[in-house]
Every structure is written in structure tokens, then in C-alpha cells.
A and B are shown apart, each in its own frame.
Chain A
């Protein structure tokens, strides 16, 4: 069974940093691209970014709203995905989902809440 479990969310002040993790199991993690998608409270879904697999040199794509502030990385030896978030803004407050990519966003984690507030 595919499982994606996010962790690392919490309350952080504007301008601060936070690192989210996603532990993957039930599939060969290294074979898949992985995404982060977020959802602000009461709002719709917003794609954050993607990391490709080793065969594609672990290259990344980002939404304009986070480019230069957020960094996606992965450790295939630990079946883990990461999202390093720097220079956080109040508008980054959201539930952050770790998502597997197979043609589409086929499996989603349960999400972790990040609140940016003073």
C-alpha cells in the first residue's frame, strides 16, 4: 500500500524558515517524480513544485510564488522527500501535501499544516 506521511509543520514567524519531510513507503520511491501541493485554509489547491528522479538529474520546477525561497530535495536512500521553506510569508500559511507523480498526482499524503504568523 502506497503511504506518504508528511511531518515538520507548525507555527513560524514571518521571515522564518521551516523544513517539511515526507516519508514514503509501499512503492519504489526512486522511480517516481514527487511534488508538493499546498492549500490555504478554506481555499483551493496550489501546486508548489516538483523534483524529478535520478535519471533526470533530480531537476526541479517551482511555482513563481515560491521560487527562490523554497527548495525541494529528496534522499532516495531514506525514501524521503523534503521541502525547505525560507523567508516565509503570511500567505504561505497552508496545509502542505506530498504527492507522488504517475502521469498525474496519483497518491497524496494527509498533509501538514504550516502557519506563518507573528
Chain B
């Protein structure tokens, strides 16, 4: 199975900060990488697919980058509604696997 490792597992940031979360795959996955946002008590929401393509309706402050084994999700200017847990996920091979999550908290 492909292991997905996210870092950091949690971070504290202020409104307006630029935030970057990284995700590493245990083997190459080309650009078959997605990012999700989950708020407490809610279902995950798709943000990015294909490593860098923005899902319809997702604001452009979210961006994704990377290919192969190393990926990143960047929030250009953190807003109160962005405080959540973020997950990466590979869909190159079965079983589909998720990173452990990064909790973004208010500083």
C-alpha cells in the first residue's frame, strides 16, 4: 500500500497568514493526489484534485503543487472559515490511502 505522510500534524496560524501543508507519498503517484478540508462534525469537502486543479466553487486562495512523491497545499491568506483539518489522498493505486491529517488552529 502507498503510505501518505502529512506534515505538520497540527499548526497554529493567524488570520492573514500564508499556510503550507506538505504531503509525501511512499512511492511515486504522478499527480494523482487530492486535498480535502474537514470541519468538526461535518463531512470532508473536496478542494483539489490532480495535485493542482481546483474543485469547482473552491476559492483561489487554495492552491496545490507537486508531482511524484512530494506535494503541498497552500492557503494564501488564512481566514476564520479556513480553520479545519486538511487531508491529502492518493488515487494512483488501490487501496486509496489518506494522509493522517493536518489540523489548522487559531493562533
Spell out A's residues near B (CB within 8 Å).
35, 37, 44-47, 50, 61-64, 97, 103-111
State A78–B101 Cα separation when bound (angstroms). 35
A-B contact count (CB 8 A): 57
A residues near B101, Cβ cutoff 8 Å: 44-45
B residues near A110, Cβ cutoff 8 Å: 42-43
Binary interface profile of B, 8-38, with partner A (CB < 8 Å = 1, else 0)?
0000000000000000000000000010101
Interface residues of B in 55-101 (CB under 8 A from A): 55, 87, 89, 91, 94-101
Report the count of interface residues on B (CB-CB < 8 A): 23
Binary interface profile of B, 34-50, with partner A (CB < 8 Å = 1, else 0)?
10101000111110011
A106 engages B43 (CB within 8 Å)? no
A selection of 17 A-B contacts at a CB cut-off of 8 Å is A44-B87, A44-B100, A45-B87, A62-B95, A64-B95, A103-B49, A104-B34, A104-B91, A105-B34, A105-B89, A106-B46, A106-B49, A108-B43, A108-B45, A108-B46, A110-B43, A111-B43
Q: Which of A45, A47, A61, A64 has the most CB of B within 10 A?
A: A45
B46 engages A105 (CB within 8 Å)? yes
State A10–B34 Cα separation when bound (angstroms). 31
A residues near B94, Cβ cutoff 8 Å: 50, 61
Q: Which 6 A-B pairs have the closest CB atoms?
A: A104-B49, A104-B34, A108-B43, A47-B96, A45-B98, A63-B95
B residues near A61, Cβ cutoff 8 Å: 94-95
State A97–B44 Cα separation when bound (angstroms). 9
State A63–B94 Cα separation when bound (angstroms). 8
